[in-house]
């Protein structure tokens, strides 16, 4: 069984640009979660999608947005990039309503 896959592995952007990160959940998983892991700040919850709907959102500005597609894959978009957005972005998936989810290996976003 394939795990959660994220692309790209690394992404380098210039301040002010937009970044798009992608996540494919485990087959059969309908929930996708996005987390930001910045140095010294731990894992911060960004977004939760389930069945194509945004179910919950963390304390991040609106320039962090995303969506979930009919095949349950998901996209995270970060607009107007700031240097502080440099972090490892982790995606996780789970079956709807199930406890404990599986993480991907992450996308390392560097803003210069």
Binding site for other proteins (CB under 8 A): 4, 31, 33, 35, 42-43, 45, 48, 50, 55-56, 58, 90, 92, 94, 96-106, 108
Beta carbon of residue 85, minimum distance to other proteins (angstroms, whole number): 18
Look at residue 99 and give its three-state secondary structure: coil
Q: Residue 10: how many CB atoms within 10 A of its CB? A: 9
The CB-of-2 to other proteins minimum distance in angstroms stands at 14
Q: Which is nearer to other proteins, 10 or 62 (CB)?
A: 10
Residue with Cβ nearer other proteins (14 or 97) = 97
Smallest distance, other proteins to C-beta of residue 17, A: 24
Closest to other proteins by CB, 17 or 105: 105
DSSP annotation string for 13-67: E-TT--EEEEEEPPTT--EEEEEEEETTTEEEEEEEEETTEEEEE-S--TTEEEE
């Amino acid at each position: 069984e394939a795990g959660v896959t994220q692309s790209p592995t690394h992404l380098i952007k210039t301040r002010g640009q937009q970044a798009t990160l992608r996540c494919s959940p485990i087959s059969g998983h309908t929930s996708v979660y996005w987390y930001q892991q910045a140095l010294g700040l731990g894992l911060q919850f960004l977004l939760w999608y389930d069945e194509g709907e945004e179910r919950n959102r963390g304390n991040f500005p609106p320039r962090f947005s995303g969506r979930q597609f009919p095949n349950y894959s998901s996209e995270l978009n970060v607009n107007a990039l700031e240097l502080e957005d440099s972090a490892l972005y982790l995606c996780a998936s789970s079956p709807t309503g199930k406890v404990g989810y599986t993480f991907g290996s992450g996308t390392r976003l560097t803003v210069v």
